[in-house]
Structure 1
Amino acid sequence: METLALVVPCYNEEKTIPIFYETVEKIKEQIPAQIAYYFVDDGSKDRTLAILRTLTYNNPLGGDVHYISFSRNFGKEAALYAGLQAADGDYIATMDVDLQHPPALLPTMWNFLHEHREYDCVATRRISRTGEPKIRSFFAKLFYQLINDLSDTEIVDGAQDYRLMSRKMADAIVTDSEYNRFSKGIFSWVGFRTKWIPIENVERCAGTSKWSFWKLFRYSIEGILAYTTIPIYISSIIGLIMCGISFLALLFIVIRAMLFGDPVAGWPSLVSIITFLGGLILLCMGVMGLYIAKIYLETKHRQIYIVREER
């Protein structure tokens, strides 16, 4: 019988883990495969690890449960990578533990991959943002539009980490061991034919979201820097344009002084121009600095995560 491994990152999810596990256990009979759970505790500060230990060593439902516990919080990207590395299955599914990724879709996703062998992945994309703050929805749409305009790697609008993939695709993702990870981009970059399933936004079954607006903003910047170098070209073009404008302005002032003997007056405008150009220079340097920072982190070859305990 084929095996299906569920990779489930967890960070302070003591309330959602039992609900998630019971929900999957109720529908697993609809999938003709042996299901194994790979929970990744991303340095939680609550009872997440204790609950995972109970599921693993004293499980009344008898499921095949494994867990990896990090030495500290390394982030969801590291948790996904660790889970994909550890997961041993013919097919791998990545999903959230809060039931915003409905387990009821797993049988449909499984059946599709087995009926359409030309596909290697079934993924979900959110088509509505009901219940989400409007400002967050606005910036989310702006991000997808911006990154697809700038990058050669297409990232589907509303793409989620909830997907079921073949072993071959999972191995390709694990092979990409870059430190600065952006999974949505990696899933797309490795290729393989993907079937997209539209789903509505689902509220968490319990607990609160760990993603603040600032964390999402930083994550979006990570994605843009990881999959396009266009910002560097834009900063270079802006610099070239400003140099041209400055040269023409200088030429105009010199010619005017030679013909009319007109002194250059108006120090407020001069200060404004200098301030503007200074800010522009700092902006361009900041863009280049972000890329250099990414290079710096990659060349350190630090571990993506550190395991404190696993089973």
Structure 2
Amino acid sequence: MEKISLVVPCYDEEESIKIFYNEVLKYEKQIDAEIEFCFVDDGSKDHTLEIFRMLREKDKRVHYVSFSRNFGKESGLLAGLELATGDYVATMDVDLQDPPYLLPEMYKAVKEEGYDCVATKRSTRKGEPPIRSFFARIFYHLINKMSTTEIVNGARDYRFMTRQMVDAVIADGEYNRFSKGIFSWVGFKTKWISYENIERSAGKTKWSFWKLFKYAIEGILAYSTVPLSFASFLGVILFLISIVSLIFIIVRRLIFGDPVAGWASIVSILLLIGGIVMLCLGIIGLYVSKIYLETKKRQIYIIKEKA
């Protein structure tokens, strides 16, 4: 019998794990394959790890790894993919915002319709704070304008993939990982399923606005060099403006003499140019920092316990 591995990264999710486990079991009989649970404890401070141990004693299909500290969801996804042994692998959130009832449909699409991957996206952002929805739409618009790798608006990390695609994702050895981009970049024939936004089953989200903002910046830097081109474009524009300004100053000096007035405008221009220069240096610095982290070859995660 074929095996499906469910990769589920968790960080302080003690309230959601059992609910998720029981919900998945409701749809197990609709899938003609064995289910394997691959939980990842991303350095949780609550009783997440204890619950994994308890589930493991009850059901040997439950496997888990526990990190030595919190390494982030991207590291958790990679660890789960490397832990999974199934012929097919699904990546899911434990809070049931990725509904298990879609698993039979996803399995059928890959098994019978010839797809390598079934991905999900939200058709609505109902229940999400308006300010977060607004900036999310801006992010997807910007990254798709800047990058040749398509990032689908509203895309979730909830995906059902063949072993071949999973191996390709794992083989991408980047330290600065952005899974939405990696899933798209590796290619493979993908079917998209839309569903309305679902509230968490329990617990609170760990994604603050600031964390989401940093994650968006990571995505743009990982799959676009447009910000570097933007910095160069600004430099060219400022050079042309400076030439025009120099001609204007020379002409004014020849016609009207050398008036004392104008120091305020000079200071304003200097501040403007200085600010733009610092902006460009900051953009270059972000890319250099990513190069620095990649060249250090640090471990993406460290496992403290595994079962």
Other-structure match for 2:96? 99
1:66 pairs with 2:73? no
Q: Deviations over 1:28-83 (max 9, x none)?
A: 111100110000000000000000001112x1xx3500000000000000000011
**Equivalent in 185, 189, 199 of residue 185 of structure 2:** 189
Other-structure match for 1:84? 81
Write the letter of the residue equivalent to 1:9: P
User: Residue 77 of structure 1: SS of its match in structure 2?
Assistant: helix
CA distance in 2, matches of 1:162, 1:294: 27
CA distance in 1, matches of 2:76, 2:151: 21
Q: Deviations over 1:85-137 (max 9, x none)?
A: 110010000000000000011001111111212x1000100010111010000
Other-structure match for 2:243? 247
User: Residue 201 of structure 1: SS of its match in structure 2?
Assistant: coil
Write the letter of the residue equivalent to 1:274: L
Equivalent residues in 2 for 1:43-192, closer than 5 Å: 43-57=43-57, 59=58, 62=59, 64-117=61-114, 119-192=115-188
CA distance in 2, matches of 1:263, 1:286: 37
Other-structure match for 1:210? 206
Unaligned runs of 5+ in 2: none
User: Residue 264 of structure 2: SS of its match in structure 1?
Assistant: helix
User: Residue 62 of structure 2: SS of its match in structure 1?
Assistant: strand
Other-structure match for 1:40? 40
Q: How far is 1:26 from its partner? A: 1.6
Write the letter of the residue equivalent to 2:36: A
Other-structure match for 1:269? 265
User: Residue 4 of structure 1: SS of its match in structure 2?
Assistant: strand
Other-structure match for 1:237? 233
| Pairs aligned (count) | 307
CA distance in 2, matches of 1:232, 1:114: 43
CA distance in 1, matches of 2:178, 2:49: 26
Write the letter of the residue equivalent to 2:108: N
Q: Is the 8 A contact 1:235 1:284 kept in 2?
A: yes
Identity %: 62
Q: How far is 1:264 from its partner? A: 5.5
Write the letter of the residue equivalent to 1:68: V
Write the letter of the residue equivalent to 2:86: G
Other-structure match for 1:16? 16
Q: How far is 1:252 from its partner? A: 1.4
Moved over 6 A (4+): none
CA distance in 1, matches of 2:60, 2:203: 24
Q: Deviations over 1:159-179 (max 9, x none)?
A: 000010000000000000100
Q: How far is 1:223 from its partner? A: 0.1
CA distance in 1, matches of 2:35, 2:197: 26
CA distance in 1, matches of 2:278, 2:260: 27
CA distance in 1, matches of 2:176, 2:45: 24
Q: Is the 8 A contact 1:56 1:64 kept in 2?
A: yes
Unaligned runs of 5+ in 1: none
1:305 pairs with 2:301? yes
CA distance in 2, matches of 1:34, 1:231: 46
TM-score (norm 1): 0.97
CA distance in 2, matches of 1:259, 1:27: 85
Q: How far is 1:296 from its partner? A: 0.5
Q: How far is 1:222 from its partner? A: 0.1
User: Residue 26 of structure 2: SS of its match in structure 1?
Assistant: helix
Q: Is the 8 A contact 1:7 1:87 kept in 2?
A: yes
